[in-house]
């Protein structure tokens, strides 16, 4: 765990560091003692590109969960949730707490979720999840798990059904797709002109590093590390910039991630790795061992799914990914109770259950009108961030000059529509005064 403040910030043309007071960022990771890492790989050339991560295989959680038995269990549930990532599990937990029978479908339900992500501590505190790394909860008897991939979803007059790749067919009043942005089950009625965020991260053992253990490096936008690199790499970074953040756990253990904020078209993953290697080399950081490796790629912005429709989306495929930051975990966790309550109310009503009213109410619980308006402003923020390196530095300098209540609320998706509109206006005024180049 790393606890890190969001105040104060230095100029974004250099690294932005966060001292460990005020608002905090929590790095969600299950780091085992070093003696548990079996494979040791060392880099002889000062680059991690030739190293394989010590933990290269998907690990499974050791939980005794209630499994669906096709031979003896009823094939009819109240709700079927496709996907057992954070969004699917959170919603399953919340829906089942209302006494609703849930089946969670996933090709590998107990696979450990790729865990190199962070949340603001106050967000998880407000959800009662601040001890999530040190505490487990029993799984409700109302949730069953089935290890299978969903191949088809069909809707009839009063129920829906899913067909699985193992031949199992299950039916329910409501199907929820929480399987991520690659899902093909969710419909859109507008072109999907998403932006993209791509990142490469490593949890690494290093000889030494220059970082204060009480600070997180939030954004390092410097490009001095590319001075001795190829002209093409320098030129592309100037046009499609990436930054690095670093989370130091001790004098020899650091999590690094090189990432774009938003890009269209998407950057090459190989190029992002090369930029990180060049940056670490320039900083004199020698990676001795890669313990974990993260490959991150997801869509940002673009249109919302068709609202309503006969299948409910939740998580990465529902438009909840913040259009300008890529943040989604804490927001998804926070919205699950409201969506679950809407599902419970509808399934408890004879006039709502089995009718189109169910889909309308559940979708609108996730996306009420004001939240849709706010998302459009977030999309505007994403469009403003399609900048070159110089423009990005100017934009972030202006952004962090806003009242902390505004920029913190923007990052956390907690501003009202009025507050968000006020922040965008103030930001636009600041950008004009600073004469930020290439800002839309």
Tell me, letter by letter, the H, E, C secondary structure of 94-123.
Answer: HHHCCCCCEEEEECCCCECCCCCEEEEHHH
Q: What would the pLDDT profile of 383-405 be if each residue is shown by its tens digit? A: 777 788 888 888 888 888 899 89
According to the model, what pLDDT value does residue 135 have?
45
Name every residue whose Cβ is closer than 8 Å to that of residue 122 and which is 6 or more positions away in sequence.
23, 24
Angle at 273 between CA 268 and CA 277, to 5 degrees: 145
> Does the pLDDT value for residue 41 go beyond 90?
no
SS3 of 124, please?
helix
According to the model, what pLDDT value does residue 28 have?
47
According to the model, what pLDDT value does residue 57 have?
60
CATH topology of domain 76-189+304-367: FAD/NAD(P)-binding domain (3.50.50)
Residue 144: beta bridge partners? Answer: 103
Question: Picking from 44-53, 149-158, 179-188, 249-258, which range would have the lowest pLDDT averaged per residue?
Answer: 44-53
Q: What would the pLDDT profile of 67-126 be if each residue is shown by its tens digit? A: 999 999 999 999 999 999 889 999 999 999 999 999 999 999 888 765 555 566 666 677
Question: Picking from 4-18, 72-86, 206-220, 365-379, which range would have the lowest pLDDT averaged per residue?
Answer: 4-18
- Residue 378 CB neighbour total at 10 angstroms: 22
> Does the pLDDT value for residue 169 go beyond 80?
yes
Give the span between the Cα atoms of 100 and 346, in whole angstroms.
11
C-beta of residue 129 within 8 angstroms of C-beta of residue 216: no
User: What is the pLDDT confidence band of residue 410, given thresholds at 50, 70 and 90?
Assistant: confident
User: Which position has the higher pLDDT, 381 or 22?
Assistant: 381
The helix or strand, by DSSP H or E, that contains position 253, with its residue range, turns out to be strand 253-259
> Does the pLDDT value for residue 27 go beyond 60?
no
SS3 of 308, please?
coil
Give the span between the Cα atoms of 38 and 54, in whole angstroms.
7
C-beta of residue 287 within 8 angstroms of C-beta of residue 50: no
Write out the CATH class of domain 3-57+195-300.
alpha beta
* Mean predicted lDDT score pLDDT of the chain: 82
Name every residue whose Cβ is closer than 8 Å to that of residue 260 and which is 6 or more positions away in sequence.
196, 197, 198, 199, 240, 241, 242, 267, 272
Tokens of 361: 């109410």
**pLDDT exceeding 90 applies to what percent of the chain?**
45
Q: What would the pLDDT profile of 293-312 be if each residue is shown by its tens digit? A: 888 888 888 899 999 999 99
> Does the pLDDT value for residue 1 go beyond 80?
no
According to the model, what pLDDT value does residue 426 have?
87
Question: Picking from 81-95, 167-181, 411-425, which range would have the lowest pLDDT averaged per residue?
Answer: 411-425
Q: Which of 1-5, 127-131, 369-373 has the highest mean pLDDT?
A: 369-373
Question: Picking from 44-58, 283-297, 332-346, 359-373, which range would have the lowest pLDDT averaged per residue?
Answer: 44-58
C-beta of residue 170 within 8 angstroms of C-beta of residue 69: no
Residue range 208-235: mean pLDDT, rounded: 91
According to the model, what pLDDT value does residue 298 have?
84
Q: What would the pLDDT profile of 317-340 be if each residue is shown by its tens digit? A: 999 998 888 888 888 999 999 999
**pLDDT exceeding 70 applies to what percent of the chain?**
80
User: What is the pLDDT confidence band of residue 261, given thresholds at 50, 70 and 90?
Assistant: confident
């Amino acid at each position: 765990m790393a606890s890190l403040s969001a105040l104060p910030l230095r100029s974004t043309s250099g690294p932005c560091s966060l001292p460990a007071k005020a608002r905090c960022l929590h790095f969600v990771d299950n780091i085992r003692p070093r003696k548990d890492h079996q494979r040791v790989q060392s880099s002889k050339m000062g680059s991690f590109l030739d190293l394989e991560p010590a933990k290269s295989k998907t690990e499974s959680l050791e939980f005794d969960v209630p499994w669906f038995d096709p031979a003896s269990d009823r094939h009819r549930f109240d709700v079927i949730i496709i996907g057992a990532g954070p969004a699917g599990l959170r919603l399953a937990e919340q829906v089942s707490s209302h006494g609703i029978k849930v089946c969670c479908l996933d090709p590998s339900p107990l696979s450990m979720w790729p865990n190199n992500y962070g949340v603001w501590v106050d967000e998880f505190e407000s959800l009662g999840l601040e001890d999530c790394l040190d505490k487990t909860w029993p799984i409700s008897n109302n949730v069953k798990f089935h290890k299978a991939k969903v191949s088809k979803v069909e809707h009839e007059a009063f129920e829906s059904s899913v067909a699985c790749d193992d031949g199992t067919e299950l039916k329910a009043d409501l199907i929820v797709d929480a399987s991520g942005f690659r899902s093909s089950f969710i419909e859109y009625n507008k072109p999907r002109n998403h932006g993209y965020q791509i990142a490469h991260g490593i949890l690494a053992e290093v000889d030494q590093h220059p970082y204060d253990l009480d600070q997180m490096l939030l954004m390092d936008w410097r490009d001095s590390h590319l001075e001795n690199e190829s002209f093409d790499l320098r030129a592309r970074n100037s046009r499609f910039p990436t930054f690095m953040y670093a989370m130091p756990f001790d004098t020899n253990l650091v999590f690094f991630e090189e990432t774009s904020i938003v890009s269209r078209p998407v950057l090459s993953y190989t190029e992002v790795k090369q930029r990180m290697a060049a940056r670490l080399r320039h900083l004199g950081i020698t990676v001795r061992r890669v313990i974990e490796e993260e490959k991150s790629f997801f869509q940002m912005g673009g249109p919302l799914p068709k609202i309503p429709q006969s299948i409910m989306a939740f998580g990465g495929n529902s438009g909840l990914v913040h259009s300008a930051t890529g943040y989604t975990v804490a927001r998804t966790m926070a919205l699950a109770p409201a969506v679950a309550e809407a599902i419970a109310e509808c399934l408890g009503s004879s006039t709502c259950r089995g009718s189109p009213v169910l889909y309308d109410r559940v979708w609108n619980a996730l996306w009420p009108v004001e939240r849709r308006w706010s998302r459009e402003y977030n999309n505007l923020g994403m469009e403003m961030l399609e900048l070159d390196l110089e423009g990005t530095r100017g934009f972030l300098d202006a952004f962090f000059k806003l009242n902390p209540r505004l920029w913190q609320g923007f990052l956390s998706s907690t501003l009202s529509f009025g507050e968000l509109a006020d922040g965008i206006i103030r930001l636009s005024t600041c950008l004009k005064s600073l004469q930020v180049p290439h800002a839309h």
